[in-house]
Chain A
Amino acid sequence: MNTNQPPSPPNRRVRTRTVLPGFGLSAAITSLMIVGLVLIPLAVLILRAASLGPAGFLAAAWTPRARAAYAVSLGASLAAAIISSLLGLLVAWVLVRLEFPGRRILDALVDVPLALPTAVAGLVYSTLYVEKGWLGQILVPMGIRGAYSRLGIVLVLVFVSLPFAIRVVQPVIESLDKDTEEAARLLGASKSQTFLRVVLPGILPAVVTGFALALARALGEYGSVVFISGNMPFKTEIAPVLIVSRLEEFAYAEATAIAVVLLGMSLSMLIVVNVLQQRLARNAQ
């Protein structure tokens, strides 16, 4: 067996990768799926939008109703991503650093939004926050309307995006070197100084990545929002809901143009996440 003698790594890598069978088959399956299911559909979408021409595209994608929908989508998603990042940091910190009864259960519950269908979340949130709901009967008299309002959109988006914000930050807090914090405290830094100057710089890239992931998830969300927002044009209509209502009117050109704008927003998020993750990996080394 040739693995007993350690040859130089690059040499070895080339050799190990070529001895194994299955390159052709796995490459064929992978490219069939990626090209057939992801690249071609997205390319068709973009080409369809491009065939409208610049003026036609603008007329379809930049109507007052569409602009209002982008604004609601962006505003609610940003708000939700900020709230998720802050709450996510809190929950991640508590899960890693503090020992208390029920910690493991709390840790498992964090994943509920990943497994619970978004339609169920939307349905339940809308019944919780209406006037007769569990929370609504307290909140609505106080003037807080958590259903059929923009606040409702933000609430369900926080629900769907919270696990992303927590799960990205959690391992980074776990890997923090506690001795540095200890040293800062011994050298006379206060708790808040230690957190701001020592801890925060270490976890900030992860928090920002979590924010971007949460934002990307929130921007595209449809299932839960459609239940709780009331979908009023110019007020609580998000971009994905507008796409669907255009489709139901068979206005394919308009739906496609709006979809391309939304796609552009989310793909730029993906690029931001990738850049951040590379920076994160470099910092960790």
Chain B
Amino acid sequence: MTSKPRDAATATSPLGLLLIAGAVATVGLLIVAPLTSVFVDAFSNGPRAWWEALAHDPDTRHAIWLSLTVAPLAVLINTVFGVAAAWLVARFRFPGRSLLVSLFDVPFSVSPVVAGLALVLIFGRQGLLGPTLTALAVKVIFAWPGLVLATTFVTLPLVVRELIPVMEAIGPEEEMAAVSLGANGWQVFWRVTLPNIRWALLHGVVLANARAMGEFGAVYVVSGHIAGTTDTMPLRVEKLFQEYRTPASMAVASVLAALALLTLVAKVFIERQLETESKELEAARAPGADTDPTTGGLGS
């Protein structure tokens, strides 16, 4: 913070101004222009046409409803997984731990289309479990369970990756104290761990939800793209576009874009809370020389 005046001086230099102009142009052209045009195009025929495109088309209504069901389910699964996996990795040392941590990232680097295909090869009619599922009359592919599975796969790393660094930084001391005072596992979790990680958890949930609402490739493959049955909002955007109903497509897109903006506002707010808490943690750690600060960090 002390170096701010010197930075401010560079900002007014010709080179500084040029760099700022370049950065603003980059973000403006690549990000702001498309974002603005979604809303302009969506409302180009007035708010009434926008509303009718959303509310008077049963397939679109169904897509909105389906997205609002599938995304929270996938996020819920990932929240349970994220907390469990972060607890495992941040509180215990065991062989294969670092391999496990890199496995968490695999869904990030697998193309969503490939992930969807892999699910089809297992749960599809000709898939590994196909005959069993047919006998049980359970439909996974071309039905909502497949959508949930595909969405869960794609968003798998988002919650756990937020939690691990925070839990490592906080360290196990408070939880151990609770255990030694006689608390059981659930009490430790609800009363000690959860209050400590709540902002990081919320951050992960918000990011996972945004990704889940918007997922396209993986969901496209497993859904069969059936209007009024397995079309989520992003799939509906594509179908309307293919049917040359661009205004209606833009209306659905504008709802998704508004949701993305809400996500960003929430993200900025949560990040401020996180920053304050990590500063408080540092301040609490600094004078207390009796605890070794390195054990709270990333153990190798």
Q: Which residues of A contact B (CB under 8 A)?
A: 1-4, 6, 9, 12-14, 16-23, 25-27, 29-30, 33-34, 37-42, 44-45, 48, 87, 90-91, 93-95, 97-100, 102, 106, 108-121, 123-125, 127-128, 134-135, 158-159, 162, 178, 191, 216-217, 219-223, 226-227, 239-240, 243-244, 247, 252, 255-256, 259, 262-263, 266-267, 269-270, 273-274
Contact = CB atoms under 8 A, between A and B. Distances in A.
Contacts of A120: 38, 214, 234, 237, 253, 256-257, 260
Contacts of B46: none
B33 to A, nearest CB: 7
Contacts, number: 310
A19 B172 CA distance: 10
B299 A226 contact: no
B34 A159 contact: yes
Q: Of residues A124, A134, A219, A227, which shows the largest number of chain B Cβ atoms within 10 Å of its Cβ?
A: A124
A112 B267 CA distance: 11
B264 A97 contact: no
A30 B94 CA distance: 14
B108 A216 contact: yes
Interface size class of chain B, counting residues whose CB lies under 8 Å from the partner chain: 35 or more
Specify the main secondary structure of chain A where it touches its partner. Answer: helix
B176 A19 contact: yes
A114 B216 CA distance: 13
B131 to A, nearest CB: 15
B19 A93 contact: yes
Nearest to B173: A3
Nearest to B91: A20
A94 B81 contact: no
Contacts of A109: 27, 31-32, 264
19 contacts: A6-B291, A26-B85, A26-B88, A34-B103, A39-B103, A44-B122, A106-B23, A110-B31, A116-B257, A117-B214, A117-B237, A118-B214, A191-B15, A217-B108, A220-B217, A222-B113, A252-B120, A252-B126, A266-B110
B128 interface: yes
Q: Which 8 A-B pairs have the closest CB atoms?
A: A117-B214, A220-B111, A223-B216, A222-B217, A41-B118, A21-B185, A29-B84, A94-B23
A243 B188 CA distance: 48
A128 B104 CA distance: 37
Contacts of B35: 112, 116, 124
Contacts of A219: 111
B260 A42 contact: no
B253 A124 contact: yes
Contact of A243 (B77, B105, B106, B113): B113
Contacts of B175: 20
Quick one: which of A128, A220, A269 has the most chain B CB within 10 A? A220
B230 interface: no
A119 B234 contact: yes
Contacts of A191: 15
Interface in B163-190: 172-173, 175-177, 179-180, 184-185, 188-189
Contacts of A33: 77, 81, 85, 156
A59 to B, nearest CB: 19
A247 B221 contact: yes
A115 B77 CA distance: 20
Given A87-B30, A109-B31, 15 more contacts: A20-B91, A22-B91, A41-B121, A42-B106, A94-B20, A98-B20, A111-B267, A120-B260, A162-B26, A216-B109, A220-B112, A227-B241, A243-B113, A263-B110, A270-B106
Interface on chain B toward A: helix, strand, loop, or mixed SS? Answer: helix
Contact of B81 (A30, A41, A124): A30
Interface string B199-242: 00000000100110111110011000000000001110110010
Contact of A20 (B20, B111, B126, B176): B176
Contacts of A90: 19, 22-23, 26
A263 to B, nearest CB: 5
A244 B11 contact: no
Contact of A98 (B16, B119, B211, B221): B16
Nearest to B103: A34
Given A97-B7, A128-B34, A178-B3, A22 B87 contact: yes
B260 A244 contact: no
B214 A41 contact: no
B242 to A, nearest CB: 9
B294 interface: yes
B285 interface: no
Nearest to B185: A21
A220 B218 CA distance: 11
A131 B299 CA distance: 56
A217 B7 CA distance: 34
A130 to B, nearest CB: 10
B224 to A, nearest CB: 10
Contact of B177 (A3, A18, A39, A99): A3
Given A33-B156, A222-B220, A262-B111, A21 B118 contact: no
Given A45-B118, A45-B121, A219-B111, A17 B91 contact: yes
Given A37-B156, A45-B117, A135-B33, A116 B214 contact: yes
Contact of A13 (B113, B216, B267, B295): B295
